[in-house]
Amino acid sequence: MTKNQIRPTFSQIKEAYEQGKTVVHRTPVLTCNSINQMVQSQLFFKCENFQKTGSFKFRGASNCVFSLSDKQALSGVVTHSSGNHAAALSLSARMRNIPAYIVMPSTAPNVKVEAVRGYGGIITFCQPTLKAREETAQKIINEKHAHLIHPYNNYNIIAGQGTAVLELIEEINDLDIILAPVGGGGLLSGTAVTVKSQKDTVQVIGCEPENADDAFRSKKAGYIIPSENPDTIADGLLTSLGTKTFPIIRDLVDDIVLVSETEIMNAMRLVFERMKMVIEPSAAVPLGALISDKLEVKDKKVGIIVSGGNIDTKNISSIIKNK
C-alpha cells in the first residue's frame, strides 16, 4: 500500500486473493429453501465459519503476514486481541515460521486462550483495558522489534477481508444486496471496496447490534463516535470503527441497520435448525436483520457474509433453550 492511500484498490484486493490461494480456503456458498421462503427472497450464505481458524479473519491476517518482506518478518508479528484475529494471526505466523506475540486481556475466555496457544501464539496477558493492551503491545515491539498487525485498522487487513465477497460475486454474479456484520469495520469496508469497484448498483449494507451501535451513529454523524460500554452477545462486534475503515464505510456503504439481542439469537437458532450449521453470534446479525423485516428484500437476491463459527459450546445450548 502506498503512503497516501485512503483505501485499498480493487487490484490490491485481487493481489490479496492471488497471494492467499495457497493458504486460504475458498469457502462454500450455501442456500436454504426454508429460510428463503420466510424472507421471500433468495439468500446466498458465504460461509466463512468454514475458513481456517473458523472466521474470515484468517484472510486479512494471512495477507498481512505474507506481504511482509523477509526482513520485516524476521522478528515476528504482534497484535492485541482476545478473539478471532488473535487465532488467525497466530496460525498465519506459524505457516511462515515466524513468532506471533499475542496480547490478551486477563479476562479472555479460556477457550480463546487455548485456541491461540494451539495455533502457536505466544501470549502475554494484561489488564482488560485498551490502554493496557496498547502499552503491552508497544513494550513487545520495543523488545522484540515485532511488526504490529492491527485487527482491522490496516489496509492489508481490509484488502484480505475483501477477498471473501470477491469469491461470492464470482460465484453469484447477479446479487442485488450484500450484507456483512460490522464491528471494527475491516470486513464491511473490504466488502464495500470490492463490490462498488465491480458493480456499484449492488447495495452494501452493514448490520450491527443495537447494543453496540457506534458504526450506525458514526455513519449518520459523519465522524467516528467511539463505542461506549457495548453489551451484546455478538462479542466479535464490540470494537469501534478505525481511522482507515470509517472513511470507506462513510463513502461506500449504503446503509447500516441495527439488530436486537433477541433477533440475533433467533437468527442463530434458525441457522442451527434449518441449515444444521454452527455460527457465532456476530455472524447471525445480518440474518437477524432480514427475519425481523429491517430490510426490503422481497424477490431480491441477497448475499450474506457469514463471518465465523467460533462459539463456546456451552453457549449454544443456552441460546437454543432461550426461546
Query: What pLDDT sits at residue 322?
Result: 65
- N-to-C CA span, the chain: 48
The residues assigned a catalytic role are: 57, 82
**Please, how many CA atoms are within 13 Å of residue 148, restricted to the half-sphere of its CB?**
16
The reply to whether 125 and 173 lie within a common domain is no
Query: Are the C-beta atoms of residues 305 and 236 closer than 8 Å to each other?
Result: no
Last residue of one domain, picked from the residues 118, 148, 178: 148
Pairing of strands 29-30, 42-47: antiparallel
* Burial state string for 251-279 with b = 16 or more CB within 10 A and e = fewer than 16: ebbeebbbbebebbbbbbbbbbeebebbb
The reply to whether 66 and 174 lie within a common domain is no
Q: CA of 261: how far to CAs of 117, 206, 232, in Å?
A: 31, 16, 7
Q: Degrees (nearest 5) of the Cα angle 46, 170, 156?
A: 75
The reply to whether 222 and 292 lie within a common domain is yes
Supply the CATH number for residue 271's domain. 3.40.50.1100
Cα–Cα distance for residue pair 206/191, rounded to 1 Å = 10
Residue 170 lies in a domain: yes
Query: What confidence tens digit (pLDDT) does each residue in 219-233 have?
Result: 999 999 998 888 899
The reply to whether 72 and 202 lie within a common domain is no
- The total of other beta-carbon atoms located within 10 Å of residue 28's CB is 11
The reply to whether 203 and 247 lie within a common domain is yes
The reply to whether 142 and 49 lie within a common domain is no
The reply to whether 205 and 169 lie within a common domain is yes
Cα–Cα distance for residue pair 113/108, rounded to 1 Å = 7
**Mean of the per-residue pLDDT values of the chain:** 94
Provide the number of structural domains found in the chain. 2
pLDDT at residue 2 above 60?
A: no
Of 318, 315, 306, residue with least CA distance to 277? 306
Residue 182 lies in a domain: yes
The reply to whether 113 and 78 lie within a common domain is yes
Query: What pLDDT sits at residue 143?
Result: 95
Cα–Cα distance for residue pair 230/238, rounded to 1 Å = 6
Query: What pLDDT sits at residue 4?
Result: 65
Residue 4 lies in a domain: no
Last residue of one domain, picked from the residues 81, 113, 148: 148
Last residue of one domain, picked from the residues 123, 148, 173: 148
The reply to whether 138 and 46 lie within a common domain is no
In the block, residue with C-alpha cell 488467525: 88
Residue 107 lies in a domain: yes
pLDDT at residue 174 above 70?
A: yes
Query: What confidence tens digit (pLDDT) does each residue in 73-113 have?
Result: 999 999 998 789 999 999 999 999 999 999 998 888 788 88
The reply to whether 249 and 316 lie within a common domain is yes
The reply to whether 286 and 315 lie within a common domain is yes
Domain extent for 218: 10-55+162-321
Query: Are the C-beta atoms of residues 42 and 301 closer than 8 Å to each other?
Result: yes
**SS3 (DSSP) at 295:** coil
Q: What is the largest CA-CA distance in the chain?
A: 57
pLDDT at residue 141 above 90?
A: yes
DSSP characters over 23-78? TS----EE--HHHHHHHTSEEEEEEGGGSGGGBTHHHHHHHHHHHS-HHHHTT-EE
In the block, residue with C-alpha cell 450455501: 30
Query: What confidence tens digit (pLDDT) does each residue in 264-277 have?
Result: 999 999 999 999 99
Query: Are the C-beta atoms of residues 45 and 28 closer than 8 Å to each other?
Result: no
